[in-house]
Amino acid sequence: MSAEIPAEALQLRSLVRADQTLELFLDVVPVPPPGPDEVLIRVEAAPLNPSDMGLLFGGADMAAAMASGSAERPVITAPIPDAAMRGLAGRVGTPLPVGNEGAGTVVAAGESPAAQALLGKVVAAAGGGMYSQYRPVNVALCLELPAGATAIQGAASFVNPMTVLGMVETMRMENHSALVHTAAASNLGQMLNRLCPEQQIPLVNIVRKPDQEETLRAAGAVHVCNSASAGFMAELIAALTATGATLAFDAIGGGRLASQILTAMEAAAGAVAASTGAGGYSRYGSAVHKQVYIYGSLDRGPTELVRSYGMAWGIGGWLLTPFLQKAGLARVAQLRDQVAAGLTTTFASSYTAQVSLPGALSLGAIAGYGRQATGSKYLILPSHVA
C-alpha cells in the first residue's frame, strides 16, 4: 500500500435498530488492501440515486428525523413505522454501507493483470458501499473512464445509463417497438430522451408539471403528456396511437397512472384497428399485449388498477440486476462500452448540489435528496472534508 493511503477512513452506514429507529452515521473503517482481482478506489464522487434511498432510509419517517453528533461526525436518527419495520427483520442490528455506484482514482491494485492495468486510472464502479472514502472493488465491476473524463462525470455511469439501455433492450426482447416513460424529466428520463432518438425509438414522456413539459420539449422531445392537465387522457391516447407504444416504464408506482397508461394503450389499439379496418368488437378487448413495468416507487401508496383494458395486459416490478443477469455478460460488456463512449453526451448526468460525507448527513441535504423530486439530484464527494 502506498504511503498516501490511510489505514482507516470514513464510510457512511445505515443501521436499523431493534427499537424501530434508523441511525445514519459515519463509521471509521479499516482500509483493506485489495484482493488479487480487486482495485482500491479513492472514491471522489457518488450520486444519491432514488435506488439508494430504500437501503439508506429503511422506510423511516425522515420528516421526523433528528440530528445529533458533531459537524465532522453527524448522526441522524428517525423513527421507523410499524409497516416498514416488518420488511427489515433481516438487517436489524447490522450497520450497512450504502451507495450503489461512484467513481474515483485507483490507488492500489491486486496482482492480476486486469487489476494492475487500472492502477492510477479514474474508474467508475458499481460496487455498493460507495459512500466511502476508500472502497475495494472487483475489477469486473469497474469501468475505466475515457481519457480526460472526471470522477464527477463518471460517478453515475452505471445505474441510470444501464437502466435506460435495459429499458430499450427489454422493449426489443419482449417485441414492443416504442416506449412510454413516467417521471420523464428526471436525469434518467432526459437520458432516455437522448438515447431513443439515436436508436429511432418513438418515446412518449409523461410528466407532472408544466416546467417539466417545457424542459423536455426544449430538449427535442416529440411526445410529452402532463398527467396533471385536463386533457391528459386524450393527449396520451393520441401519442400512443402515433407511436404504437405498448410498453411503459413507470417510476411512480402508486396511484392510478399505470392503469391510465394501460387504458390509453387499449384505446390506441382500438383506434388503430378502426382506422385500418381491422376492427370489430372483441369481448376480451384487444389482443395486443400491453405492459407496464414499475421500476421505482416515487409514490409509495397502493397501485390502483381499474381493469378496463381487456385481458392482454401485465404489470410488474422491473429491476436492473435481474435484467443484467438475463442479458448475459457479453451483452452487458457491449452496453458498458456504449456508456463509456457516450459518457459526456448521451449518458451525462447533472446535479443540483454537491456535498461531503458529513454534508450528506445534514437535515437540509436529506430534505433535498430525500424527496426524490425531479430536478433535485445530489452528489457526494467522499474525499472532501466538510
Binding site for a copy of itself (CB under 8 A): 54-55, 83, 86-91, 94, 96, 253-254, 259, 270, 279-285, 287, 291, 294-295, 297, 300, 302-308, 310-319, 321-322
The whole-angstrom separation of Cα 277 and Cα 32 is: 68
Task: Give the nearest distance from C-beta 352 to a copy of itself in angstroms.
Answer: 25
Task: Give the nearest distance from C-beta 215 to a copy of itself in angstroms.
Answer: 28
Task: Give the nearest distance from C-beta 180 to a copy of itself in angstroms.
Answer: 17
Nearest CB to a copy of itself, comparing residues 48 and 185: 48
Q: Which residues pair with 42 in a beta bridge?
A: 105, 134
Nearest CB to a copy of itself, comparing residues 228 and 287: 287
Angle value at C-alpha 294, between 86 and 348, nearest 5 degrees: 110
Q: Which three cell numbers stand for residue 209?
A: 408539471
DSSP H helices in 50-97 = 50-57, 82-85
**Contact call for residues 362 and 65 (beta carbons, < 8 A):** no
Reference 150, options 100, 199, 88, 104; nearest CA is 104
Nearest CB to a copy of itself, comparing residues 321 and 354: 321
Angle value at C-alpha 166, between 57 and 343, nearest 5 degrees: 85
Nearest CB to a copy of itself, comparing residues 246 and 346: 246
Nearest CB to a copy of itself, comparing residues 51 and 212: 51
Tally the residues of the chain.
Answer: 386
Q: Which three cell numbers stand for residue 204?
A: 412518449
Nearest CB to a copy of itself, comparing residues 233 and 348: 233
Task: Give the nearest distance from C-beta 189 to a copy of itself in angstroms.
Answer: 19
Task: Give the nearest distance from C-beta 81 to a copy of itself in angstroms.
Answer: 12
The whole-angstrom separation of Cα 370 and Cα 366 is: 5
Task: Give the nearest distance from C-beta 16 to a copy of itself in angstroms.
Answer: 9
Q: Which three cell numbers stand for residue 304?
A: 390502483
Task: Give the nearest distance from C-beta 318 to a copy of itself in angstroms.
Answer: 7
Nearest CB to a copy of itself, comparing residues 5 and 55: 55
Reference 205, options 49, 296, 188, 375; nearest CA is 188
